[in-house]
Amino acid sequence: MAMAEKTYPLMSRRQIEGLIAEGKSIFILDQYVLRADPWLPYHPGGDKAIRHMVGRDATDEVTILHSAEAKAQMMRYRIGKIQGRWVNFVPPIQGGKFRLLAGNDDEDGDDSSQSGQDDYNKNVRGSSTASPITSSQSSSRGPSPVFDQDESELRNRAGPGRSHRAASVSSISSTEEGAKGEEKKQQQDDGMTYLDMQTKQAVSLDLDRYPSLDSSTQDNIVQKYRALNHRIKAEGLYQCNYWAYAVEISRYSLLFSGMLLFLHWGWYVTSAALLGAFWHQLVFSAHDAGHMGITHNFQVDTALGIVIADFLGGLSLGWWKRSHNVHHIVTNSPEHDPDIEHMPFFAVSHRLLGSLRSTYYDRVMEYDAAAKFFIGIQKYTYYIILLFGRFNLYRLSWEYIILGLGPRKGPARWHRWLELAGQIFFWTWFGYGIVYKSIPTGWDRFVFVMVSHMVTMPVHLQITLSHFAMSTADLGPHESFPQKMLRTTMDVDCPQWLDFFHGGLQFQAIHHLYPRIPRHNLRRTQKLVQEFCDEVDIPYALYGFVGGNQQVIGRLAEVSRQAAILAKCQEVLAQSDDPFGHGH
């Protein structure tokens, strides 16, 4: 006799808000309400990826980042169901505020879109009702200068928007002293609101370029995006081309053998260049393994990835997965996406000039004297700093392993110890066996290390190239996942014979839409994605390699210009402190 399927209670939006206000990690998956708290310590991709989904419909993010088996496991944590369309909250980690349930709350409240809109407005601004408001995380920002205005105006505006001052000037007396006070306050407001006005302008540009954020438009995009996923599966594009990996392994073997041969001959620079090329190529396979794009088995692909990344490359796959999963969910968000948080060396958004708090690193990204110096010249130092990017990855990898930032329970609990063994193995064969034992002089050792690491620079360039020039504006929780990915990511056009050099990272927009597609199938997927973009009227950003670099340098120069303007505003403000007006 078949067992009856468990039934789940219908939950109102107000009930869900109350649970989140109590600190519970609640999100929506396929119309079910899930409580994620029990598996936060077990999640191989880290807890922060889940925290960015709290209060949201995570159906698309879960589906594209996880296997069907993992998704089925999540369904064990269902606590209820919803009816109708879910309107996303701003997650607590992003500064969202939530009201605790009070005794007189209507637990069967309206779940309509308008009700969701009202809740969203309170979620961003803070409610004026008597119900207590709480957040399970400290807010990463104050009241939004963009979304604190009428949300319907933002979402439905078809033409270019106008910036409005966020600051208000208090009433003061008409005396001369009062007039001076008003002038000083006006100057303060100019300094404080410059970045906010830039934010509004960036949002306005995106609202004009991309489809409307109204529910019907975004629902249509999501429907077609999911239909495209079914088509991709039907065409076998999720299946790994193992012959392509046989070619990859041959390439790796030739590069490593060549490195050893030239090392034996004493051609240290040539040997170092081949080792760097070997590491450069390995990254692409580690990337595939981290996304379960090789065997599609979590444990097998993770083990492969650790062998590639840790044992052969000295980098932590676990660190990468923890960081990269967050990047895939909050792409190009200045305060949330670790892939664009490179203060004090780079700022790709004017918002980073406001000393934002990173929710990933749990620290303020200070716009201090060092940042002002480096950001002022960042278009000139961009390529130079990328040459040393691998050294920073070593630091992040060891920090992740030593501090035990990965899961200590569940199916991924043993990964930390395999990674630790991999790090010991790497520094034994590379640090001791090659650098120390095989190279005779200190200078030759230094040159070998620097050349081998600098040769990997194209990987860092490829990763930053796909995002640095794209939008960093926050259009709010109403934007669909596929639209956000295409708005914040560019693809780089190149001839097919160069695909091995770019390693699939040139198809970043496609990869962000469907991360588990093996990279050797991304070129075949490109045509389908282009058709999808044309159908839903989302611009598909595709640049040549040179054109993409020009876009990035242009963005870096633009932020430097904004930094100079901000500095001028602050200088005027400082001069206005002179009670005798000597600064004028």
| pLDDT for 575 beyond 80 | no
Query: What is the longest distance spanned by two Cα atoms in the chain?
Result: 91
- CATH class held by domain 13-92: alpha beta
Look up residue 466 and give its two tokens: 């796909």
Q: What is the pLDDT of residue 194?
A: 81
In angstroms, the CA 507 to CA 489 distance is 9
Residue 480 corresponds to which tokens in the numbers above?
Answer: 């669909």
Question: At CB < 8 A and 24+ separation, what contacts does 27-30 make?
Answer: 27/53, 27/54, 27/55, 27/56, 27/57, 27/58, 28/56, 28/57, 28/58, 28/59, 28/82, 28/86, 29/57, 29/58, 29/59, 29/62, 29/71, 29/74, 29/75, 30/59
pTM: 0.85
Q: Tokens at residue 163, please?
A: 């910036």
pLDDT at 84 > cutoff 50: yes
Structural contact between residues 431 and 254, judged by C-beta atoms closer than 8 angstroms = no
Return the higher-pLDDT residue of 487 and 185: 487
% pLDDT > 90, the chain: 76
> Could you tell me where in the chain the CATH 3.10.120.10 domains are found?
13-92
The pLDDT of residue 583 is above 70 = no
| Tens digit of each residue's pLDDT (9 = 90 or more) over 166-182 | 333 333 233 444 444 55
What pLDDT score was predicted for residue 181?
52
The 3-state DSSP class for residue 364 equals strand
Neighbours of 239 (CB within 10 A): 12
Using an 8 Å Cβ cutoff, are 22 and 306 in contact? no
Distance (Å, whole) CA 130 – CA 151? 23
pLDDT surpassing 50 at residue 415: yes
Q: Is 577 helix (H, G, I), strand (E, B) or coil?
A: coil
pLDDT digits (tens, 9 = 90+) for 222-275: 999 999 999 999 999 999 999 999 999 999 999 999 999 999 999 999 999 999
pLDDT of 260-310, one tens digit each? Answer: 999 999 999 999 999 999 999 999 999 999 999 999 999 999 999 999 999
The string of pLDDT tens digits covering residues 367-382 is: 999 999 999 999 999 9
CA distances from 480 to 62, 94, 193, 344, 448 (A): 14, 17, 29, 32, 47
Nearest to 129 by CA among 21, 19, 11: 21
Condensed to tens digits (0 to 9), the pLDDT of residues 430-483 reads 999 999 999 999 999 999 999 999 999 999 999 899 999 999 999 999 999 999
What is the pLDDT of the chain when averaged over all its residues? 86
Beta bridge partners of 35: 26
Query: Is residue 313 a contact partner of residue 426, using CB atoms and an 8 Å limit?
Result: yes
CA 326 – CA 50 distance, rounded (Å): 9
Residue 408 pLDDT: 87
Q: What is the torsion angle, in degrees rounded to the nearest 10, for the CA atoms of residue 298, residue 301, residue 305 and residue 308?
A: 160
Rg from Cα positions in the chain? 26
Q: What residues are paired with 32 via a beta bridge?
A: 29, 81
